[in-house]
């Protein structure tokens, strides 16, 4: 079977290779971010602040469950990129088909868990009573389509692991347009409520998952998916879980911390929930350069270490960190100054805009620390050391964040105290990662391991 192994990540200019891979990722994530953002824009403008708060209050809970399985999928991506870089065709095929089998099983499990646990968890989070019924409807509708978004992340991850970030972008553009049309139709024209916004998201994600899957099934490359070969290969499943489980746990741990944060925000009332929800949507766009460079570095490091190009891996890591940090800070400055205009697009209410603005003015200028932490985490995952970022983020983004909020809000019951939890813990994780990155010769230890 003919396939082109020499991707831009394995040869040629390092800067050009990483940037050309990161740009489609950025655009893809941009359109993916539009899913929930369009929901919030349309819900906020057509259904009001209470409905917007219902959509916003579900966000942390959704990421708690989805983030775990997406973390496991990251482990599969690392394994696939290493076999691809090492030109191990048989190993690549087994890793791909095990990954697809895992996605099918995880999607089914997540559907059951999400549908049954939604009311209990939302109540435990202290979701305001006026918001709770709509939150449950939105959450359950979203998780009825679990298979669609889990499989999308699985098949997209396979394509990205072998250096193809363009086709996922094309499919996302299509599905994002579907989402906008369906949101306007279901909510704006038919007035079906917040559940319809979640339904539009599920349908659009299913369309992108299907297009990616068709691409893999009809591919002439070695990573082609053959339906009859989809199964769990035990040794590959163990490797995927061993690499991906720390990332999955890390995502869930961060989500648990964010649920605690959301519960504290809920105590300040519906306007606070809506305002912080608006800021989180804007912040999602601001974080895109950060996440796309981190994802690029994971694939770049995985492929080049698999190909034993250790010096190239090291130079690529340095370039990715520098670009991500500088770009994140530039975006932070833009958000800091333009936040009132961004927020009013979601909800023109003065209280909602004021809360979103106050949160942005607290956090936006610290995006550089978040970028640094995510890039180091991405590099570590690409090197197969995913337990390192898990422990760092467990300490800083969960234990310290929750402890700070629990203690400080008790003595200073102001929402500003909650906002400061993020810059504080981003800074702490950056210091720990910097010490580890400088002191621990992670690349040399990996090189010795492969000999």
Q: What is the mean pLDDT of each run of 10 residues along the chain (451 residues)?
A: 56 87 81 69 79 70 74 83 87 93 91 83 78 85 88 88 85 87 89 86 90 91 90 91 83 79 88 89 86 86 86 90 93 96 88 94 96 92 84 91 93 94 96 85 54 50
Would you say residue 7 lies in a domain? Answer: no
Would you say residue 65 lies in a domain? Answer: yes
Would you say residue 177 lies in a domain? Answer: yes
Would you say residue 302 lies in a domain? Answer: yes
Residue 344 Cα distances to 34, 193, 279, 335, angstroms: 17, 21, 11, 13
pLDDT at 117: 81
pTM of the model: 0.76
Would you say residue 2 lies in a domain? Answer: no
Would you say residue 44 lies in a domain? Answer: yes
Cα Rg, the chain, nearest whole Å: 21
What are the structure tokens assigned to 108, written together?
């089914």
pLDDT at 1: 42
Residue from 341, 367, 380, 384 nearest 422 by CA = 367
What is the number of structural domains in the chain? 1
Would you say residue 6 lies in a domain? Answer: no
Residue from 152, 125, 139, 282 nearest 210 by CA = 152
Ramachandran angles phi, psi of 222, nearest 5°: -65, -25
Would you say residue 8 lies in a domain? Answer: no
pLDDT at 35: 63
Q: Which domain holds residue 254?
A: 14-450
């Amino acid at each position: 079977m003919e396939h082109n192994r020499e991707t831009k990540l394995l040869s040629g200019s390092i800067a050009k290779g990483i940037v050309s891979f990161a740009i489609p990722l950025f655009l893809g994530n941009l359109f993916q971010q539009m899913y929930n953002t369009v929901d919030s824009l349309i819900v906020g403008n057509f259904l009001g602040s209470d409905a917007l708060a219902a959509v916003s209050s579900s966000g942390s809970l959704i990421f708690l469950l989805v983030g775990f399985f997406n973390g496991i999928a990251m482990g599969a991506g690392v394994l696939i990129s290493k076999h691809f870089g090492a030109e191990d065709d048989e190993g690549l095929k087994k890793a791909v088909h095990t990954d697809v089998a895992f996605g099918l099983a995880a999607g089914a499990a997540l559907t059951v868990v999400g549908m049954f646990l939604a009311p209990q968890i939302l109540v435990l989070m202290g979701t305001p009573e006026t918001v709770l019924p709509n939150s449950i409807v939105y959450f359950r509708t979203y998780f009825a389509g679990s298979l669609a978004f889990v499989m999308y992340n699985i098949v997209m991850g396979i394509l990205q692991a072998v250096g193809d970030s363009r086709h996922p972008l094309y499919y996302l553009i299509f599905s994002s347009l579907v989402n906008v049309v369906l949101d306007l139709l279901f909510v704006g024209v038919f007035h079906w409520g917040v559940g319809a916004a979640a339904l539009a998201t599920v349908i659009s994600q299913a369309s992108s998952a299907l297009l990616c899957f068709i691409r893999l099934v009809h591919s002439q490359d070695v990573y082609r998916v053959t339906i009859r070969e989809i199964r769990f290969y035990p040794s590959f499943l163990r490797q995927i879980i061993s690499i991906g489980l720390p990332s999955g746990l890390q995502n869930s741990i961060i989500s648990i911390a964010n649920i605690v944060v959301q519960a504290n925000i809920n105590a300040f009332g519906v306007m606070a929930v809506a305002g912080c929800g608006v800021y989180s949507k804007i912040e999602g766009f601001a974080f895109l350069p950060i996440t796309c460079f981190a994802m690029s570095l994971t694939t770049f490091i995985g492929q080049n270490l698999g190909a034993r190009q250790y010096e190239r891996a090291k130079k690529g890591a340095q370039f990715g960190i520098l670009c991500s940090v500088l770009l994140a800070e530039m975006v932070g400055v833009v958000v800091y100054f333009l936040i009132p205009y961004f927020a009013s697009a979601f909800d023109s209410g003065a209280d909602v805009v004021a809360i979103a603005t106050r949160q942005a003015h607290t956090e936006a200028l610290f995006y550089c620390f978040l970028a640094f932490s995510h890039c180091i985490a991405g590099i570590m995952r690409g090197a197969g050391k995913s337990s390192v970022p898990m422990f760092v983020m467990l300490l800083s983004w969960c234990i310290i964040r929750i402890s700070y909020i629990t203690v400080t809000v008790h003595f200073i019951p102001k929402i500003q105290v909650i906002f400061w939890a993020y810059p504080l813990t981003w800074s702490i994780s950056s210091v720990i990662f910097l010490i580890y990155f400088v002191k621990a010769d992670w690349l040399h230890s990996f090189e010795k391991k492969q000999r």
